[in-house]
Amino acid sequence: MRAARQCLLCRRELPSPRDVDQGILDDDHRGHGGAVPRVHAATGNAVPPAPDFSQGDDHPVVNVTWDEADAYCRWAGGRLPTEAEWEYAARGGKEGLIFPWGDTVSHEQANYGKEECCGGLVSGRDRWVGTAPVGSFDPDGFGLYDMAGNAWEWCADWHDDEYYGRSPAADPQGPSSGQLRVLRGGSWYYWPVKLRASFRGKSVPSLRSAGFGFRCLRDASLDAFSLFPLTHEQALSCREVADE
């Protein structure tokens, strides 16, 4: 019943039932010390500023703009995922759940903030006010870490609240133009509702935030980059939760 209520509240979020192209989400987004120089190399821009909290090399890179994230992924031989691809990956093959692991959330499962706006919070297994080292919590059903929480993740799409009411049934690519880019997954700074698999965040693409990171998707045809291969047998649809 809780899942159904969630669906009714959030109908504009659901891209389902949709198919997305098979692909791989690469976890090579980690490390303010490792990835940041490569973001610099990929874009020619100045090195993104460090956040005002401590980050080790195994933390997700943050403070990157959408253009920098996009440029980095292309430079690395991949691309940013569409938000439909991101959501498919976040659900880890477990359709109809509010969060990647189930219908409830706790600080045992992800790094996020206070129960209500705003700011980081330490509780239980979540020992971080800012970002946590990548992979500090259990992965989702596809073996992907930190899809929910830690850092928001830029997606390829322009944002449009009404898009899923008119989008193609297969592999939606987002609107052709817009003012805002999509972010998914919530972050260390935000309250848990933003960690829902279907929650659609958005921002102007030029904004740098200590909560904004990204990860790259490398297409399955690029076998050399297939860190988390999805098989043809895996269901690729995002099934809509029944209205009950």
Near Ca ion in 153-212, by CB under 5 A: 185
Least distance in angstroms from the C-beta of 132 to Ca ion: 7
Quick one: tokens of 181? 């880019």
Region class of 224: left (phi > 0), else alpha (psi between -120 and 50), else beta:
alpha
List the one residue out of 89, 91, 101, 95 whose CA is nearest residue 138: 101
Compute the least distance from the CB of residue 18 to Ca ion, in Å. 21
Choices 34-42, 68-76, 78-86, 119-127 (CB under 5 A): range interacting with Ca ion: 119-127
Whichever of 31 and 185 has its CB closer to Ca ion, that residue is 185
Q: Closer to Ca ion by CB, 185 or 201: give it.
A: 185
Cβ distance to Ca ion smaller for residue 17 or 56: 56
Residue closer to Ca ion, measured from CB, 6 or 111: 111
Among 27, 68, 70, 126, binds Ca ion (CB under 5 A): 126
Pick the piece of the chain touching Ca ion (CB under 5 A) from 79-87, 98-106, 138-146, 193-201.
Answer: 138-146
Q: Which is nearer to Ca ion, 15 or 120 (CB)?
A: 120
Does residue number 131 form part of the binding site for Ca ion (CB under 5 A)? no
Among 43, 65, 150, 203, binds Ca ion (CB under 5 A): 150
* Closest by Cα among 214, 222, 213 to 78: 222
Q: Whole-number minimum distance, CB 147 to Ca ion, in Å?
A: 6
Q: Considering only CA atoms, which of 143, 58, 151, 59 is closest in space to residue 101?
A: 143
Q: Which of 65, 82, 111, 131 binds Ca ion (CB under 5 A)?
A: 111
Q: Which of residues 25-84 bind Ca ion (CB under 5 A)?
A: none
Residue 235 main-chain phi, psi, to 5 deg: -65, 135
Q: CA 52, 195, 12 angle in degrees (round to 5)?
A: 125
Pairing of strands 212-213, 216-219: unpaired
Provide, rounded to whole angstroms, the least separation between the CB of residue 68 and Ca ion.
17
Cβ–Cβ under 8 Å, residues 16 and 238:
yes
Q: What is the 3-state secondary structure (H, E, C) of 138-176?
A: CCCCCCCCCCCCCCEEEEEEECCCCHHHCCCCECCCCCC
123, β-bridge pairs? 126
Q: Which stretch binds Ca ion (CB under 5 A): 41-49, 127-135, 137-145, 227-235?
A: 127-135
Q: Rule CB under 5 A: which residues touch Ca ion?
A: 111, 120, 126, 128, 146, 150, 185
